[in-house]
Structure 1
Amino acid sequence: MGISPIFEARRIEKIFPGVRALDGVSLSLLPGSIHALLGENGAGKSTLIKVITGVHRPTAGQLLVNGEEIHLSSTHDAIARGIGVVHQERNLIPRFSVAENIHLERLGSHALRPINYADLNRKARRWLEELQFDVDPARSVSDLSVAQMQLVEIAKALSLQSRVLLLDEPTASLTSGETDTLFTVLRRLRDNGVSLVFVSHKLEEVQEICDRVTVLRDGVNACESRSMQGLGRQDLVRLMIGRGESSGSWRKRDVAQNPVALELRGVTTAIGHRSIDLSVRKGEILGLYGLVGAGRTELAKAVMGRIALTGGDVLVDGRPARITSAADAIHRYGLGYVSEDRKREGLVLPHSVLANAGIVIWRKLAGFFGDLSDARVQHSVLPYLERLEVKTPSLAQTVGNLSGGNQQKISVAKWLAAGVNILIVDEPSVGIDIKTKAYLHDLLRDLANQGTAVIVITSDMPEMVALADRIVVMNDYRIQGEVENTGAYDMMSYAIMSLIHRETEDRVEEPA
């Protein structure tokens, strides 16, 4: 006799005005299992998660826990039924402490009793230790990095002791070391009988940790709750997109004689960078690799005028550049920056797709009297939105109502449309599917081939090796060295990690 499901979604339909997001989707979760939920952006994964967690009520279909039908009216209903979730987009209160965010669902449960912060911090520390995450529970969440915030989200979900736990792109902002730690925790939860749903576009992670899989394509089941046994990467790709994966392999490009587009000489910043020397040539894709906290994103923000320089020089096309704001960077020097944090920095969520995609070219497109038509903006941005296959009912749709992956596509498309001379792309493929990732890589290569200097910051080692001509390694706000990319993954990953770890060992041995 087989194991009975701990949770089932049967023939779920969800219809929004003008859109059938789910059409008869089913999912069956076994206790003590890590279940992959796969599909391209817009396939219905996020909608299904929201149905399962009480955010949306299904238009039709059933939800069952241990064989009993349930009706969820809110996330609180789902939590009460032992269903927890870690969303792709962080849902933390920045001004609250780590401990307050972890126990947010239980704060103020006794309105007349003051909060015992010592007890709150002690309880929070237990869950942080489960993740081997060394952070003060009293620390404000606003002081944390994107990766650290993700770990707080996971600790928050673990603290609810859910029997069904859904994780939507949980490793998107984590280093390989942090991912290994998370996987250790997930396996321990699995061994304790918890049923985990793992949503990821990183198929190597899915194959490493998941034992069952459901695949959605265009709102229907392409594969329903089957064992991962016997399924290879190409099988999963075919289920998701209806064909095999294309081989957009790395190709060596000769850029050594191209003029330097951007150069940093002895740059020091207000937040700790010291003596940074860096250059990128026209037509070159320069990779910046390092562990989370290495200072790569912060260096990009300093170049864009958002963090103060306290020493050194920035040169654009060989001439000194005085960049004091993002507007300076964009309009005077032709620099663009795709932020890793699209929700807070990359997009204006209450505004439309068209407004977000066109915002950086409004000044360029405006007529003599400042008049600007939607038609003119649409003409400039639509080719990039179509190339990246942004799924939206219309260009008037509010960006905040789109999936995280489609938001990421729009944040990239606006800079492609801007036609900048130097483009810094920070974690370009977070939350996007395999096909779009390949398109994005092709677009970045096309830009470089047309003379754009591209700097790619990514914690995805395969992506770094697939894209970069040259890779600069950072650690502790310093440059540790660089390697010429050969496209050989094993060789490049060894060289890069050796630079990071050699420097770490050298610092340990430095005299006090």
Structure 2
Amino acid sequence: MTAKLVITGASKAFPGVQALDDVSLTLEAGSIHALLGENGAGKSTLIKIITGVHRPDSGTVLLDGEPMQFFGPHDALAHGISAVHQERNLIPRFSVAENIMLERLPTRAGLVDYGEVREAARRFMAPLGLEIDPDIPVRNLSVARMQLVEIAKALSLDARLLVLDEPTASITPHETETLFRLLRELRDKGVAILFVSHKLDEVFELCDSVTVLRDGRNACASRSLNGLDRSDVVRLMIGRDETAVRRTERTATGEPVLALRDVATDLGHRNIDLEVRAGEIVGLYGLVGAGRTELAKAVIGAAKVTSGEVQVGGRSARIDSVATALSRYRIGYVSEDRKHEGLILMHSVRRNVAVTVWRRIARALGWLPDRAERDAVTPYIERLQVRTPSLAQPVSLLSGGNQQKVSVAKWLAAQVRVLIVDEPTVGIDIQTKVYLHELIHELAASGTAILLISSDMPEMISLADRIVVMADFEVVGELDNTRDAADMSEAIMARIHKVAEVA
């Protein structure tokens, strides 16, 4: 059974914010429709109206010509609408299989049939190439695999209208190719698919039509992608042409600020050698499961180094916690998982940024004057152009791009000498992505040593001075970056595939 969705004149306001203003969208059965816009443009609010999380203040929602008022996500689900949200909606302590089949657990004699739960989960994991034990708790998975579990869960619901919000943000190009094949198959069966992505190459590869939002209004409503190119879409999204990153060529000299010498960890790393000098951007590239994020966590004391040596400033460093990494060695870490590790969502913008400088600004007996926090935080909020009504705004109410800026701002305030940046632009808009790329270049130019982890090959080639390639928790190669995208991509993947062939 197919579905056609028509939204006309939808508006939605929150205290101090007009999130949507007279927005329209038509999603045809058997089509893949892109929903585009900068962070804060209103995409998430529109998705939440479609999936029953919010009800519009005005406007109409028609499903197959019938007016709809959804009273919650389960109501939308009952009408065949399923979603993969950018903020993962999984239960960490439940198994992979339980999360995938949660909405319709098979039973036998009134009890959950866990054998069937596992088998059913495997059926929905298989098309995605997700070969993991279905009994593993979700909390033990990488961010990328959590994303694939979320997609498998949505596929299990046999939705006739599927909403995908940044589904490829954390997965590899190979996994993306597999997902796109599945989406085309669903489209050909008549499923209506709403696809949200900041990766315009994906949009043009996959989608038939597009709706663009800007500042909560339609910049264009439900038009064919035929006849549009990247520059047209960017102009609709941001109101002007895209600006290229201004790259500053640097030559890093001197002793390494951060060095790993024959490091092994309790997570499985072996024989890791790596150096980052002041003013240098060193990239860590590898496929999902290569051990890049895990290595970063070992450097900052969130995992144990079992042998070898970590050196900071040429001296042996004993880092047993994130607090030690910051206070004693001035190492900061921008987490790939900003919502669970990088930020405290219920706290204000001011508190999230100031947390790294509390020790520096505290008065007697640990007293933290509000003014001292504001004075410490404001320059960095202004520098990163964080869009927030006030410093008191809870971070949870900011857009994804502005949350990422807050996550970066706290480390700028701390004035770290080494900054590890893990997937800096996942799920953020083009303008913010360009801005963060420029900021990373500026930080390096000012002498900060930067270790960059990214699964976005063009981003890696654009930013890094040297690229260290990892596979199976080992370093398998190191390359000086020539900036030639084709040559660098081929050289990087050759090192990864060579390891796979040996294995």
Question: 1:3-402 counterparts in 2 under 5 A?
Answer: 6-107=4-105, 113-248=110-245, 250-255=247-252, 257-402=253-398
CA contact (8 A) 1:387 1:439 kept: no
Which segments of 5 or more consecutive residues in structure 2 lack a partner in the other structure?
none
How far off its partner does 1:427 sit?
Answer: 0.4
User: Within 1, Cα distance between the matches of 2:115 and 2:379?
Assistant: 55
State the one-letter code of the partner of 1:140: P
Q: Matched residues in 2 for 1:402 and 1:287: separation? A: 29
CA distance in 1, matches of 2:158, 2:397: 30
Displacement after TM superposition at 1:106 (Å): 2.5
Please identify, of 243-252 and 447-456, the stretch whose mean Cα deviation from structure 2 is larger.
243-252
> Which has the higher mean CA deviation after the structures are superposed, 369-378 or 321-330?
369-378
Residue 249 of structure 1, CA deviation: 5.1
Cα pair 2:248 2:445 within 8 Å, conserved: no
> Residue 506 of structure 1: CA displacement?
2.3
The separation in 1 between residues aligned to 2:400 and 2:107, in whole angstroms, is: 32
Q: In the TM superposition, what is the alpha-carbon distance from 1:108 to its structure 2 partner?
A: 8.9
Q: Is the 8 A contact 1:131 1:181 kept in 2?
A: yes
Per the TM alignment, residue 471 of structure 1 is displaced from its structure 2 partner at its CA by 0.5
Determine if contact 1:288/1:471 at 8 Å carries over to the other structure: yes
Question: Are 1:10 and 1:63, in contact at CA under 8 Å, matched by a contact in 2?
Answer: yes
Q: Matched residues in 2 for 1:239 and 1:398: separation?
A: 30
Tell me, in whole angstroms, the C-alpha distance in 2 between the residues paired with 1:67 and 1:313: 66
Deviates more, 1:363-372 or 1:476-485: 363-372
Aligned twin of 1:510: none
1: CA distance between counterparts of 2:211 and 2:191? 18
Distance in structure 2 (CA, Å) of the matches to 1:430 and 1:385: 20
Amino acid at match of 1:456: L
Moved more, 357-366 or 265-274: 357-366
TM-score (norm 2): 0.97
Q: Does 1:469 align with 2:465?
A: yes
* Maintained 8 Å contact 1:38/1:200: yes
Amino acid paired to 1:77: D
Q: Matched residue pairs, number?
A: 502
| Identity score, percent | 60
Tell me, yes or no, if the aligned pair for 1:262 and 1:315 is still in contact at 8 Å.
yes
Confirm or deny: 8 A CA contact 2:106 2:117 kept in the other structure: no
**Residues 387 and 169 (structure 1), Cα distance of their counterparts in 2 relative to 1, 3 Å cut:** farther
* Residues in 2 aligned to 1:109 and 1:377: alpha-carbon distance in whole angstroms: 55
Within the candidate set 448, 451, 456, 2:452 is matched to 456
* Equivalent position amino acid for 1:222 in 2: A
Residues 211 and 227 in structure 1, CA contact (< 8 A), matched pair in contact too: yes
Superposition deviation, residue 121 in structure 1: 1.2
Between the aligned partners of 2:365 and 2:96, the Cα distance in structure 1 is 50
Task: Kindly indicate whether the alpha-carbon contact (under 8 Å) linking 2:8 and 2:25 is maintained by their aligned counterparts in 1.
Answer: yes
Q: Which moved more, 1:398-407 or 1:120-129?
A: 398-407
CA contact (8 A) 1:38 1:214 kept: yes
Tell me if the contact between 1:258 and 1:283 (Cα under 8 Å) persists in the aligned partners. no
Aligned partners of 2:240 and 2:261: how far apart in 1? 48
Q: 1:431-442 alignment to 2 at 5 Å? A: 431-442=427-438
> Counterparts of 1:147 and 1:345 in 2: how far apart (Å)?
15
1:417 to 393, 413, 429: 413
Alpha-carbon distance between aligned partners in 1 of 2:441 and 2:376, rounded to the nearest angstrom: 20
Letter in 1 for 2:14: F
The amino acid across from 2:169 in the alignment is A
Shift of 1:12: 0.3
In 1: Cα distance, 2:414 partner to 2:118 partner? 47
Question: Hey, what's the Cα distance between the residues in 1 that align with 2:107 and 2:77?
Answer: 15
RMSD over equivalenced CA pairs, Å: 1.6
Other structure's SS at 2:363 match: coil
The 2-side partners of 1:108 and 1:411 are apart by 41
3-state secondary structure, aligned to 2:135:
coil
Deviates more, 1:83-92 or 1:394-403: 394-403
Q: Whole-Å Cα distance in 2 between the matches of residues 386 and 174 of structure 1?
A: 32
Secondary structure, aligned partner of 1:103: helix
Structure 2 counterpart SS, 1:92:
coil
Q: Normalising by structure 1, what TM-score? A: 0.95
For the 8 Å contact 1:252–1:486, the answer to whether it is kept is no
- The answer as to whether partners of 2:3 and 2:191 remain within 8 angstroms in 1 is no
